[in-house]
Amino acid sequence: MRPQKIVKEMSMTTIIDFLFGPFIDFAFMRHALVGSAALAVGACPVGVFLMLRRMSLAGDALSHAILPGVALGFFVSGLSLVPMALGGLVAGLIVALLSGLVARNTVQKEDASLAAFYLVSLALGVALISLRGNSIDLTHILFGTVLALDRQSLLMIGAVASITLVALALFWRALVLECLDPTFLRTVSRAGPLAHSVFLILVVLNLVGGFQAMGTLLCVGLMMLPAAAARFWAKRLEALCLIAMAIGIVSCWIGLLVSYHLNLSSGAAIVLVAGMFYLASLIFSPRGVFGQKPNRAQHKAA
Amino acid sequence: MASFRLENLTLGYDGHPAVHHLNGEFATGSLTAVLGPNGAGKSTLLKALAGLLKPIAGTISRKKDDAKEIAYLPQASEVDRTFPVSVKDLVATGLFQRRGLFTAQTKQDESAIAQALNDVGLDGFAARGLDTLSGGQFQRTLFARVILQDAKTILLDEPFSAVDSKTTDDLLKIIAHWQSERRTIVAVLHDEELVRRHFPDTLLLAREPLGWGATAQVLTKSNLLRARQIHEAWDEAAEDCERDEHDHHH
């Protein structure tokens, strides 16, 4: 064999080792990959709908709102998954429902009421954690531990992703119409408020599913960034959801590698990679900053 | 036979009435224009007929099984035109009343969608994104959805406000066709000449009805003058309110 070829083959093995080695060698890396990828499958389409409803920041608000519930769960049984997840779910739903109620029954708009309730909820969460627990616990809750996903966590994430996909499929028509033309939906059906509630539950469910892996601060990143990136490439809703999922899954894979090789927080690494996809889409997509501005030429066509 | 019967109907927002004590009926198969100055309560009336607004007082009665038989096309439609769906997807939402949340679309639905697009002159537009349409093409798309809704009653709020004259003519033909199918049509409009030419009945509204019946009898000089005077009286009233508020600050 010629020496050049050996070098080439060696570098191939190195690349393969770099890209797949950690997942072949370590069970915790495999768990992290499966868990975060499953998370992306459910959370990314939910993020697409959040974005299309102009509620991108509502996801962020709700991700903070789950904190006191997680903290209470932590009070009851330490760093154990199910009580923390249940607490987070309840806290997130309370904040979502209360802000919706205030928006429907007073002059205040939903963004203001949501901001008010999530801030109170966030402060309550931090206060609870400061009462008991140390800063390491707080770090766990805020930043997640994707590298310590056990069987129970994987089952929970799998359940969240499954429920999300089934619910999206069932309520697809109503969810689409509620964003596209809410007045029309109101004239033809009473499904609007139901679809809205189901959707909010899905948002909170995916945030809770993600908090252990990504942390409450960053779980919304895997939800929104792939959706925002995909918007530059897709013209149709179905394609948008699929591209967002793909970007989410690849972000998890590359993010975990980066986290492993550079010894970075895994949640942060995943969200940073997703952010890279967003920036790249922004710059290189035909619909991005250097692309053709849509609509201009066709504006006066009829 | 009445499609809608209004009795002492009073409509408004937050207790401020926009339409006072309206009595009368829209007959089945009638084609009525609702005309009047800005702020006369025309759109409010249409919203109430569509079931989107509860009356402050009085009633709107209609045959019970007609409840779902209304197609309502709002002014400056609330459709999010940046939403990533095709013309065909938007038109297909007109099937919601028949297909509901879960039932799949049939082959007949597919051809009904194609036919509706053909009727409004949008052949070949099915796959286009909403964000590529002109104002006229978009209004044609919404008319195709109304066609697909196949409703007994059709409510149109300023359907020609953002479209050119060619589109207006085409859409007027569709409205005439609907009338020939004995559908009840109520359209809020502002173009008096267009109403005289194409709408047999008119309701002249300035918060209270100034006339309701055959267009030629309603759109008399004296009625139109009264409508204008009432409108000017509101403007003065509005100034009064501002002055009052100003005084409060002192």
- A-chain CB neighbours of B67 within 8 Å are none
A174 to B101: CB separation less than 8 angstroms, yes or no? yes
Residue B250, pLDDT > 70, answer no
Residue B246, pLDDT > 90, answer no
Binning chain B into helix, strand and coil, the percentages to the nearest 5 are 45, 25, 30
Cα-based distances in Å from B177 to B122, B145, B147, B238: 17, 15, 11, 42
Answer yes or no: are the C-beta atoms of A59 and A207 closer than 8 Å. yes
**B residues 167..226 contacting A (CB < 8 A):** 167
The Cβ-side half-sphere exposure at A37, using a 13 Å CA radius, reads 12
Residue A195, pLDDT > 70, answer yes
Q: Does B105 touch chain A (CB under 8 A)?
A: no
**B residues 130..169 contacting A (CB < 8 A):** 131-132, 134-137, 149, 164, 167
pLDDT band at B230, cuts 50/70/90? confident
Burial pattern B186-216, b for ≥16 Cβ within 10 A else e, equals bbbbbeeebbeebbebbbbbbbebbbbeebe
pLDDT of res. B247: 41
A181 to B50: CB separation less than 8 angstroms, yes or no? no
Q: Which residue has the higher pLDDT, A2 or A68?
A: A68
Residue A127, pLDDT > 50, answer yes
Reading the block at residue B27, the tokens are 């007959």
Least confident of A75-84, A158-167, B39-48, B168-177: A75-84
Span A234-252, average pLDDT = 95
- CB-CB: which of B72, B85, B101 is closest to A180? B85
Least confident of A99-103, A213-217, B134-138: A213-217
A187 to B70: CB separation less than 8 angstroms, yes or no? yes
Average pLDDT, chain B: 83
- B-chain CB neighbours of A188 within 8 Å are 68, 96-97, 149
- CB-CB: which of B52, B77, B101 is closest to A186? B52
B221/chain A closest Cα distance in angstroms: 36
Residue A131, pLDDT > 90, answer no
pLDDT of res. B21: 83
3-state SS of A112-157? HHHHHHHHHHHHHHHHHHHHCCCHHHHHHHHHCCHHHCCHHHHHHH
Q: Which residue has the higher pLDDT, A302 or B65?
A: B65
Q: Does B58 touch chain A (CB under 8 A)?
A: no
Residue B239, pLDDT > 90, answer no
Span B214-219, average pLDDT = 84
Instruction: Please give the Cα distance from A172 to A161 (Å, whole number).
Output: 16
Query: Would you tell me how many other CB atoms lie within 10 Å of the CB of residue A82?
Result: 12
- CB-CB: which of B84, B86, B97 is closest to A240? B84
Residue A172, pLDDT > 70, answer yes
Answer yes or no: are the C-beta atoms of B164 and B124 closer than 8 Å. no
- B-chain CB neighbours of A166 within 8 Å are none
pLDDT of res. B242: 42
Q: Does B39 touch chain A (CB under 8 A)?
A: no
Residue A145, pLDDT > 60, answer yes
- B-chain CB neighbours of A171 within 8 Å are 101
Residue B249, pLDDT > 60, answer no
Residue A297, pLDDT > 60, answer no
B188/chain A closest Cα distance in angstroms: 17
Report pLDDT digits (tens) over A16-50: 777 788 888 888 888 889 999 999 999 999 999 99
Q: Which residue has the higher pLDDT, A208 or B239?
A: A208
Nearest to A254 by CA among A228, A271, A281, A273: A273
A176/chain B closest Cα distance in angstroms: 9
pLDDT of res. B241: 44
Reading the block at residue B209, the tokens are 């009805």
B196/chain A closest Cα distance in angstroms: 26
Report pLDDT digits (tens) over B162-201: 888 889 999 999 999 999 988 899 999 988 889 999 999 9
Q: Does B84 touch chain A (CB under 8 A)?
A: yes
Instruction: Please give the Cα distance from B189 to B187 (Å, whole number).
Output: 6
Answer yes or no: are the C-beta atoms of A4 and A242 closer than 8 Å. no
Average pLDDT, chain A: 85
Residue A188, pLDDT > 80, answer yes
pLDDT band at B155, cuts 50/70/90? very high
Q: Does B85 touch chain A (CB under 8 A)?
A: yes
A183 to B77: CB separation less than 8 angstroms, yes or no? yes
Residue A268, pLDDT > 70, answer yes
Residue pairs spanning A and B at CB distance below 8 A: 84
Q: Which residue has the higher pLDDT, B233 or A302?
A: B233
Q: Which residue has the higher pLDDT, B97 or B241?
A: B97
pLDDT of res. A201: 92
Residue A227, pLDDT > 70, answer yes
Residue B245, pLDDT > 50, answer no
- CB-CB: which of A181, A184, A299 is closest to B134? A299
Q: Which residue has the higher pLDDT, A20 or B159?
A: B159
pLDDT of res. B68: 59
Span A273-292, average pLDDT = 88
B72 to A173: CB separation less than 8 angstroms, yes or no? no
B68 to A295: CB separation less than 8 angstroms, yes or no? no
A240 to B80: CB separation less than 8 angstroms, yes or no? no
Report pLDDT digits (tens) over A1-16: 556 666 666 677 787 7
pTM: 0.84
